Amino acid sequence: MGRRKIEIKMVKDSSSRQVTLSKRRTGLFKKANELATLCAVQVAIVVFSPGGKPYSFGHPSVEAVTERFLNQAGKPKVSIPGQVVEQSQQDVKVGKLNRQLNTMLKRLQAKTKQGEVLREAVRASCQELTHQKPVNELNRDELLEMKESMEKLREKIKGRVSEIEASSSLLLLSNIAVKQA
């Protein structure tokens, strides 16, 4: 069955109305939480059921938001159990945390892209290897081509080995210089 658009009007059956309230209340509170998280805002919602039972949601708390709403003329403060923190201090902390989150998300995105590039390179190199025939099935030209590529590979490896040896020698020299100093 899927979701369908319904006409917005009062539900006549009281038991259906209670079920609808229960489901919609959960969705409403979820949206309020998302709004508070995404936009760094304070939200408070109070809902009374047809039977008079109250339901509430607040970020950071219903009391803090209502206190701020009622005391708009004064300096806004947020109550946190055990202490009172000025709103400006909390805004600074939230801003700092948001910047840290954005930095971490950018790093994660860069690492994910790097991983995808490496995965693609590995996949491409594996495909190259799987398309090659066994050595005993190669003709003369293919063998010569393979020999040439192996020689190039050997030269690259020699160059890399000499780079590693040079850097390890420099590292040893710097360690010796540090110990003598």
What digits encode the pLDDT tens for the residues 122-181? 887 766 655 567 778 888 888 888 889 889 989 999 998 888 888 888 877 777 766 665
Non-local (6+) Cβ contacts of 55 within 8 A are: 25, 46, 47, 48, 49
Domain ranges for the chain: 14-77, 82-157
Residue length of the chain = 181
**pLDDT score recorded for residue 35:** 92
Residue range 14-77, CATH number? 3.40.1810.10
For 101-159, the DSSP string reads HHHHHHHHHHHHHHHHHHHHHHHHHHHHHHHSPPGGG--HHHHHHHHHHHHHHHHHHHH
